[in-house]
């Protein structure tokens, strides 16, 4: 734990009064019954509140729907996992042997949950202001680059709206290939717009993400042809 405590102090300028809380925040359920699931639950709520306040103040003219999109973009697992990876959190996770063998320290859901658990642990350790300080440090760059709410529509929605605006049929998505083991699957999806006789491909670790990538490429292709 000394290495993990040094990492936390160096990266986020924080040291726990209760070191056991920090250890619990780093512990995945595969390693112990005393794990980070409850702390993750609490951290999720604290994070939602703090980020809600940030986007509310940053976008005074935004509607509720756009504020919700902005918050969602900041607190979703993908964002949390990216932040955790940038911080180097995975190196300090306490995992069971199975997760260690299968690369659990890089798994999106595990990284996201652990980061939220740290937020929850800080809240219990020193209170709301300390939790806000550490969340603000983690999210500093994201706050500076906060997009407009209208820019957060997912690629499939943007493609659908683009086609509907031109009275064209909706695209077809076909799962064309799956590879890898159950816990490390890789998906390839083809997106086709029949009226334009064009197709694009998307690849990712989930079918949904592969579809989104294919849709993004299709939108860029069609807009470029206009």
By annotation, the residues acting in catalysis are 44, 116
Which residues pair with residue 188 across a beta bridge? 177, 203
CA–CA separation, 85 and 106 (whole Å): 8
Q: Judge whether 5 and 22 are in contact, CB under 8 Å.
A: yes
CA–CA separation, 84 and 197 (whole Å): 41
CA–CA separation, 31 and 95 (whole Å): 5
Phi, psi values for residue 190, rounded to 5°: -105, 130
Give the H or E element holding residue 193.
strand 186-193
């Amino acid at each position: 734990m000394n290495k993990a405590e040094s990492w936390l102090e160096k990266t986020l300028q924080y040291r726990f009064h209760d070191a056991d809380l920090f250890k619990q925040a780093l512990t995945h359920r595969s390693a112990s019954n005393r794990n980070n699931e409850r702390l993750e639950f609490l951290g999720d709520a604290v994070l939602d509140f703090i980020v809600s306040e940030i986007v509310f103040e940053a976008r005074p003219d935004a509607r509720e729907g756009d504020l919700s999109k902005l918050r969602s973009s900041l607190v979703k697992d993908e964002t949390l996992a990216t932040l955790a990876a940038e911080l180097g959190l995975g190196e300090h996770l306490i995992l069971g042997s199975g997760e260690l063998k299968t690369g659990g320290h890089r798994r999106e859901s595990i990284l996201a949950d652990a980061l939220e658990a740290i937020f929850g642990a800080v809240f219990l350790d020193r209170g709301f202001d300390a939790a806000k300080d550490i969340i603000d440090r983690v999210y500093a760059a994201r706050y500076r680059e906060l997009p407009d709410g209208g820019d957060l529509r997912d690629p499939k929605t943007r493609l659908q709206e683009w086609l509907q605006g031109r009275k064209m049929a909706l695209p077809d998505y076909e799962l064309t290939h799956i590879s890898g083991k159950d816990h490390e699957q890789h998906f390839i999806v083809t997106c086709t717009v029949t009226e334009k006789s064009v197709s694009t491909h998307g690849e990712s670790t989930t079918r949904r993400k592969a579809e989104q990538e294919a849709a993004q490429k299709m939108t860029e292709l069609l807009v470029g042809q206009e």
